Amino acid sequence: MVTFFEKNTKIKTNLEKGNFMSILITVGREFGSGGRELGRRLADELGIAYYDNEILEEIIKETPYSKAYVQEICESRPTALYPIHFGVSWAHSNAPLNQTMNVYAKQNEVLHKLASASSCVIIGRAADYVLKELHPFRIFVYADMESKIKRCRERNADKNVTDKEIIKHIKKIEKGRRSFYDFYTNSKWGDRNNYDLLINTTNQDIKKLAHILSLSFKDTEK
């Protein structure tokens, strides 16, 4: 259910860029909360672009690093990793902090390019912070552990995985997201002060939530 909503002037600010209508929505989410599905369905309802893994693919195209390395950098705080350079036969080289920061800078560039191109929903990547000067409508999606375990099971082909294993995986992913967000933004991932709308998806139908939320944006456009 929607636990916090204020008719925020950011919606109108975002809708009124120059002489054209534009919507920019960022979605942060706990793992297993259904935030990715909510974002995708909301984009479908509004008929606008949706960006998630496409962001990573774009970064990979514009940097000399492997997908695994870029993904690691974009989902955790900088560490002493070893990037794999294309054209060096999987050879490893030293990875100073500035290399990881270069990947982060490229991510920021890609986010701004996508956000400026058309109305869209962007999942994760600390986009709420990176694009703050564009006044995005910032959503954070969360749920209780039981609901997150249930959603993970629905998407996991391995029916023998235990709840304990699922919880461990959830906590690992969320630790990475928290570390990434906190490091690059100097703020707190999931802190309600950083978002315009918090949505608790516990025992909720994601499709219905997306439809209800889309109506708020459609009403604003009138």
For the chain, 222 residues long, give each residue's pLDDT as a single digit of tens: 443 334 344 444 444 444 345 899 999 999 999 999 999 999 999 999 999 988 888 888 888 877 888 877 777 655 544 333 333 333 344 445 567 777 888 889 999 999 999 999 999 999 999 999 999 999 999 999 999 999 999 888 777 899 999 999 999 999 989 988 988 888 999 999 999 999 999 999 999 999 999 998 876 555
2-63+112-213 folds as: Rossmann fold (3.40.50)
CA–CA dist 87, 188 (Å, integer): 38
Of the candidates 7, 6, 14, the residue with the CA atom closest to the CA atom of residue 131:
14
Overall pTM surpassing 0.95 (yes/no): no
Burial of 127 (0-12, 13-18, 19+ CB in 10 A): buried
CA–CA dist 76, 163 (Å, integer): 24
Determine the pLDDT at residue 97.
Answer: 58
**194: DSSP letter:** G
Determine the pLDDT at residue 62.
Answer: 84
